A and B are shown apart, each in its own frame.
Chain A
Amino acid sequence: AQKVTQAQTEISVVEKEDVTLDCVYETRDTTYYLFWYKQPPSGELVFLIRRNSFDEQNEISGRYSWNFQKSTSSFNFTITASQVVDSAVYFCALWDYKLSFGAGTTVTVRA
């Protein structure tokens, strides 16, 4: 059964627009961790943010923010004022005893 679902396959925006990426997860554990990773065209996987299941406080870090809601099992990620360099595939991941990744959302930011 798929643990992490990223329903959006591709998103295309114009520079300076905000981009919100959806992530829905499934787990029976009460303790778990959620992550967002970015994979730019160069191919490496870059860690962005981590959240644990006990902390639903939503935060902002620079141009990144996230909305974690346990009631709906969602962990959405927003890039504010997008830039061309934000163009990448973004993966949501769930750690219960191993990391399970979603299928990824390709974000294209046009100048």
Chain B
Amino acid sequence: DSGVTQTPKHLITATGQRVTLRCSPRSGDLSVYWYQQSLDQGLQFLIQYYNGEERAKGNILERFSAQQFPDLHSELNLSSLELGDSALYFCASSVVGTSGTDTQYFGPGTRLTVL
């Protein structure tokens, strides 16, 4: 158990809908990261937040957005869902997140299925 929690574990929805994925980082970690894992794209970094502020952006679509709240939990919002958004979405956390000495620990993931 990494200490990172994600809810829900599974999510099934329809095209065009909007969903919210939730992540709670390990105790003491200030940085939260979101990743998407799909068969065709592999593991892709989406976005990083540090202490409530956006720190780095990866291959995140404009239909997707995220935020980190004062209690440090984070939410990833996916809207206008398409079939291709079906994937496993991981959240990770690390203490600070400014260097590679800061190992990222991953949550169990949320499996999103868009029908």
Count the B residues whose beta carbon is within 8 Å of the partner chain — how many? 23
Kindly list chain B residues whose C-beta atoms are within 8 Å of the C-beta of A37.
106
Tell me the number of A-to-B contacts counted with CB atoms below 8 Å.
53
Other-chain residue from B88, B104, B111 in contact with A99 (beta carbon distance below 8 A): B104
Contact B42 A44, beta carbon cutoff 8 Å: no
Contact B100 A52, beta carbon cutoff 8 Å: yes
Tell me the bound Cα distance from A103 to B39 in angstroms: 10
**Contact A101 to B109, CB < 8 A, known contacts A43-B88, A44-B2, A50-B100:** no
List A residues at the B interface (Cβ < 8 Å). Answer: 31-33, 35, 37, 43-47, 50, 52, 91, 95-104
List B residues at the A interface (Cβ < 8 Å). Answer: 2, 33, 42-45, 48, 56, 58, 88, 90, 92, 99-101, 103-109, 111
